Amino acid sequence: MALPHSSPFFHLLLAFFFLWHLPLGFSDQSNCQAWLVQSIPTDMPDLQLVPGVLSTGDVLQWLAGNATKSLDLTVQYWELLAGPNDSNSGDYGYSEAKMKKFGADVGREVYKSLINAADRNVDIRIIQHSGLYPNYVQEASDLAAGRTNVKNITLLLKNWWGTGIVHSKVWVSDNKDIYIGSANNDWNSLTQVKELGIYLVGCTKIARSLRHYINNLWILSTLNSTDYTRTIFDSQWQASRKVLAIRKSRRS
């Protein structure tokens, strides 16, 4: 059975694929430890965390809370802060008691941990998609406001390939501790949706590889896509496509 890209199992398989295909000698041996990470809806009392599996909300708070130098994030969208008083929000109309029962406070604590990291002068880089209505990337913008150590950029992959989004959910703390999984920066992903991921501690070589990936996305965000792409007509499928333009080097 094919797994949809939105499936948490798909993201976990990607994480294991990434780790499995690292070159020989690339592991951190005894210094690198790994745990499964999971989100379980709070209103499903018969569905409990598997013993030994960690909570997504806890792991994200640990990553931000333990960071002393750097914190890199790739984010699809932001909704860590619930909006029961915002008429444009899907949370609108729920009481504070209901929101607490839903576990919305976990998202607030994760966001607070990011603020605390920023206030400790941790260098934070955020690469994100354009986000979702109604707040889009407001939480990231607020985090960066007035803080030179926090940088956030929005990367629109559709400008490069005609479609696509930043869909990966990765946190890298101090170039050694990592979260890779399906959970969005959304309080619902922490307490109302089944999510799956992996938490890696002390894995400097894996973190270095992920940071290289993030650096490439960061560089891509600084380039003008029109200088590197062109639109062609695919006669086989009778459709226009945006492709990378191959530049020929000039010979002297």
- Residue 235: inside a domain: no
Residue 4 preceded by cis peptide, ω within 30: no
For residue 215, give every residue at least 6 positions away whose Cβ sits within 8 Å of its Cβ, in sequence order, or none: none
Domain range for 39 is: 8-22+29-224
With respect to residue 234, please indicate whether it lies within any of the assigned structural domains: no
Answer whether residue 89 is part of any domain.
yes
What are 122-155's pLDDT values in tens digits? Answer: 999 999 999 888 888 999 999 999 999 999 999 9
pLDDT of residue 43: 83
In a domain, 242, yes or no: no
What is the rounded average pLDDT of the residues 64-78?
Answer: 98
Q: Which residues pair with 221 in a beta bridge?
A: none
Is 248 inside a domain boundary? Answer: no
pTM of the model: 0.84
Q: How many domains does the chain have?
A: 1
The rounded mean pLDDT for the chain is 88
CATH, residue 214: 3.30.870.10
pLDDT band at 38 (very low <50, low <70, confident <90, very high): very high
Banded pLDDT at 247 (limits 50, 70, 90): low
Does 100 reside within a domain?
yes
